[in-house]
Amino acid sequence: MKKIITLLVVSILISACFSKKNGNMTVQGQIKGLKKGTLYLQKMQDTVLVSVDSVKLLGTDKFTLTDNIESSVVYFLTFDGNTSNKSILFFGEKGTITINDKIDQFGYKPEISGSKNQEILENYNKVKSKFQNERLEFIKKDFDAKQANDLELVNQLEKDYLKLTKRRVLFTTNFAISNPDSEVAPYIGLTEMYDASIKMLDTLNNSLTDRVKTTDYGKRFQKFVSNIKENEQ
């Protein structure tokens, strides 16, 4: 009887191992210098960050993680599951994505390949960082002008800052519209166009391809625009 029970348990365990799906997205790579710890593959579900896979590393810095993905969304590769410390944000999609980084600079300048949406997002981020640098310069100049009680300069800086904001919004809108068949477009609409006019948001929504409109970010963006329209009525 004990032998029968043992065989049944072993059979169940073997069956479970072989029935485990690898997923249609594989995230692999190397974190140089990481010899011990756990890497987590995470994504947002509703408003909660959840782990979809993890791997414990001991004596190796190479990893493989997987998930089943329906539409391309943003994922986080985190060390010990702590996104508040350091993480690598990337656009996941079906296929194999390779991420290489260093543990001492984790999340600073990772090398990511295998995701077309990630390439588009990185192109956007290059220009976005320039706007961010200009914004920081304005903040410093504004602080110095107020310290010196230079009201004329303060007023001029406020006007120039409004122009910078308009340029950023216009660039962001045009960039999203120029990539209508990428999930990055509605993602940018949701995360970067918070100060855009309803006309700009509606233009972006109408420019999205039918395929993108059926994706996770596409549906969420359409709902976002619809809610704004309803509140304005």
The answer to whether residues 79 and 132 belong to one domain is no
The answer to whether position 12 is within a domain reads no
Same domain, 108 and 212: no
Residues 26 and 65 reside in one and the same domain: yes
104 and 194 share a domain? no
pLDDT at position 121: 97
pTM of the model: 0.85
DSSP string, 43-107: EEETTEEEEEEEEEEES--EEEEEE--SS-EEEEEEETT-TTT-EEEEEE-SEEEEEEEEGGGTT
Both 90 and 171 in a single domain?
Answer: no
Asked whether residue 126 is assigned to any structural domain, the reply reads yes
3-state secondary structure of 22: coil
**pLDDT computed for residue 86 by the predictor:** 80
Could you list the residue range(s) of the whole structural domain that residue 51 is in?
A: 21-114
Same-domain check for residues 35 and 134: no
Mean pLDDT of residues grouped by 10 in the chain (233 residues)?
A: 45 40 89 90 91 92 95 92 76 97 90 97 96 94 94 94 94 98 98 94 97 97 94 76
Q: Is residue 9 part of a domain?
A: no
In a domain, 63, yes or no: yes
Cross-sheet strand order for the sheet of 62-67: 62-67, 25-32, 95-102, 111-113
Integer Cα distance of 22 and 73 in angstroms = 18
